[in-house]
Amino acid sequence: MRRIRKSREIDPDEIMLDSSNIPNFDRDQFEGRIEKSISRMSLYLLGGTFAAIAIIFIVQAVDMQIVHGDEYMNRSERNMLRPVPIFAGRGVITDRNGIELAWNAPADMVANIGSPTSTDLESLVSTREYATSTGLSHILGYVQYPSKDNNGFYYREDFQGVAGSEKYFDEQLKGVSGSRLVEVDARGKIVSENIVRPPSQGQSVALSIDSRVQSALYKNIRDIATRVGFSGGAGVVIDVNTGEVLAMTSYPEYSSQVMSDRDDQKVIRAELNNPALPFLNRAVDGLYTPGSIVKPYIALGVLSEGIIDPNTIIHTTGSISIPNPYDDTKSTIFRDWKNLGSLDLRHAIAMSSDVYFYTVGGGYKDEKGLGILNIDKYLRMFGFGTTTLDGVDSVLFGKAGTIPTPEWKKATFGESWYIGDTYHTAIGQYGFQVTLMQIIRGVAAVANYGKLLTPTILKDATPHIESTVPIAKKNFDIVHEGMRLSTQIGTSVALNVPYVKIAGKSGTAELGVSKDKVNSWITGFWPYDAPKYAFVVMLERGSVHNLIGAAAAMREQLDWMNENTPEYFR
């Protein structure tokens, strides 16, 4: 069956159109082209598309204006009114003499914003400034500034203390931020603004620290450490009657200003990767073998238990030997640092005799020793092996440290306790570890006849006595005499200064298996007749062959104080 073809009518002007006459037409004027009308289907599709778009716009308009009109109106108003925080000024930190140690940069040092013609919605953030004196960074710490995300919203609207006093006293220092409501136009230009809630300035904090004494102590520790090759050091001076810390410094240190500003990332990375650990507060968080500076506490235990009369002479020969527990045919020798001859208790403290304290601490031949359990007992009376229990300034106490005991050795090494372990513990060796704050609290209790104080870094804080050590005053007097004798003829003679009477005790703690490194210690109090201040200085990991150590740093400190702050010797 033949298919019927659809055809259309040909217009007259198209009859004469053929390939031969096409070149005679003006193609640019569309001559010589066959016109074809638009189909109805195309018109229907185009009309339908426009109708659908119109319907969508109408539906959306109804939804926005009628159904959700109120919601979008409120959102629009909120876009016009933007809440912007007003950051509270952080409190000022001063030393005991009112010298500012940390403060805020004046407002005129920051770009003025907030005028009705301003287009800047930023809040005024004052910068934190720190005293340029050295030795203060660990006591002051640093802050983090208010921070915002990529959308401009603040996720931290307060300064935040990160370390030191900035962290510990953060609640007092930071104040309460306020808020202002800013009206902006479509271009984000400020039309008007009003303060909704004014900021509340943070409280100032007065520290017990004397920044002059502290900076001098830092410099003296640094100078001796760098001169003779110690890797670090720390020092503390405390009032033995109130517990107020006059100076507390740690070498090396970081920069509070650099850490707060965080502009110089190269310096910050270098400090974070520094093997000398400038962020370690050695006065609070460092654990160290104490060596002979524990002998005064052993002496107090010996006197309290009646182990020996203080005037009894013990003849030392430079060493003692006991049967080897593994081989009866051999002896184990415990050596002294020197053959010191015949000694009573006072001279044993002054000359720091190891053999004397081996004998009275662990027992030898006919002499009954104090014993490890009593050693542990009396050391804990003075705060060793623990932290403060309920002190308001617990920020000053780091780890508890270790007093070696049979239980500790069993748990740590799975081994039994031997008399040699008691000998080593009695002279501050073996696994013995302390912090400088434990030492300063202990020596302050020796100086004040048994009042174990909670150290504080707040000026005029109420003294807090944690406990009173139950030891007779006459026994403290004997130890005082031995420590005074140490500065006159003994191992602390470097502190025998003419302008104040010092009572002291030095110590050298051997480190590691090879014992080629030592911690050098000096501790004591002044004035001898009526103790007012206690001190401790430690230099970390120096050569065992050094003849200069912590005593030299403290001597330089005393000389500096006599010239610049003589009021502390009156």
In tens, the pLDDT along 275-312 reads 989 999 999 999 999 999 999 999 999 999 999 999 99
Q: Specify the pLDDT at position 494.
A: 95
Residue 77 has pLDDT above 60, yes or no: no
Name the percent of the chain lying above pLDDT 90. 52
Q: How much is the average pLDDT of 101-120?
A: 53
Query: Which comes out higher in pLDDT, residue 199 or 225?
Result: 225
Q: What is the pLDDT of residue 208?
A: 95
- Which of 31-40, 156-165, 251-260, 357-366 is least confident? 31-40
Residue 196: helix, strand or coil by DSSP?
strand
Say yes or no to pLDDT of 388 above 50.
Answer: yes
What would the pLDDT profile of 144-164 be if each residue is shown by its tens digit? 877 666 555 565 666 788 889
The pLDDT assigned to 393 comes to 46
Share of the chain above pLDDT 70, in %: 80
Lowest mean pLDDT segment, chosen from 139-153, 478-492, 531-545: 139-153
User: 463 and 241 in contact (C-beta within 8 Å)?
Assistant: yes
Residues of the chain with CATH 3.40.710.10: 211-569
Q: Is pLDDT above 60 for 1?
A: no
Question: What pLDDT is recorded for position 55?
Answer: 87
Look at the pTM and tell me if it is higher than 0.85.
no
Average pLDDT rounded to a whole number, residues 509-519: 82
Task: Give the CATH number of domain 211-569; options: 3.40.710.10, 3.40.190.10, 3.40.50.2300, 3.40.50.300.
Answer: 3.40.710.10
Q: Which pLDDT belongs to residue 113?
A: 36
Does residue 226 register a pLDDT over 80? yes
pLDDT at 149 (0 to 100): 60
Q: What is the mean pLDDT of the chain?
A: 84
Peptide bond preceding 252 in cis form (omega within 30 of 0) = yes
How many CB atoms are closer than 10 A to CB 110? 13
Task: Point out which residues pair with 333 in neighbouring strands.
Answer: 321
Confidence of residue 186 (pLDDT cuts 50, 70, 90): low
Q: Which residue has the higher pLDDT, 188 or 292?
A: 292
Task: State residue 39's pLDDT score.
Answer: 76
Are 336 and 319 contacting, i.e. CB atoms less than 8 angstroms apart? yes
Residue 496 has pLDDT above 90, yes or no: yes
Segment 38-66 shows an average pLDDT of 81
Say yes or no to pLDDT of 464 above 60. yes
Give the pLDDT band (50/70/90) at residue 420. very high
Residue 117: pLDDT band with limits 50, 70, 90: very low
Task: Say if residues 90 and 128 touch (Cβ distance below 8 Å).
Answer: yes
Q: Regarding predicted confidence, which is higher, 386 or 113?
A: 386
Alpha helices in 99-141 (DSSP H): 137-140
Q: What is the 3-state secondary structure (H, E, C) of 313-336?
A: CEECCCEEEEEECCEEEEEEEEEC
Residue 24 in this model has a pLDDT that exceeds 70:
no
Q: CA-based angle 432:435:441, to the nearest 5?
A: 110
Q: What is the pLDDT of residues 312-360, one digit of tens each?
A: 999 999 999 888 777 777 888 899 889 999 999 999 999 999 999 999 9
Q: Where are the strands (E) in 135-264, listed by range? A: 143-144, 147-148, 154-156, 160-161, 178-184, 190-197, 205-206, 232-239, 245-251
Residue type, 350: A
Q: What DSSP string describes 280-305?
A: --TTTT--B--GGGGHHHHHHHHHHT
Structure letter (DSSP) for residue 188:
-
Residue 120 — pLDDT band, cuts 50, 70, 90?
A: very low
How does residue 554 score in pLDDT terms, banded at 50, 70 and 90? very high
The helix (run of H) or strand (run of E) holding residue 446 is: helix 436-447
Q: Which residue has the higher pLDDT, 221 or 48?
A: 221
CA 179, CA 497: separation in Å to the nearest integer? Answer: 60
pLDDT of 423 reads 95
Pinpoint the residues of the chain covered by CATH 3.90.1310.10. 77-171+179-206
Is the pLDDT score of 56 beyond 90?
Answer: no
**What pLDDT is stored for residue 128 in this prediction?**
87
Q: Is 70 exceeded by the pLDDT of residue 401?
A: yes
What confidence score (pLDDT) does residue 146 get?
72
Helix (H, G, I), strand (E, B) or coil at 278: coil
User: Is the CATH code 3.90.1310.10 the one for domain 77-171+179-206?
Assistant: yes
**Is the confidence at residue 76, as pLDDT, over 50?**
yes
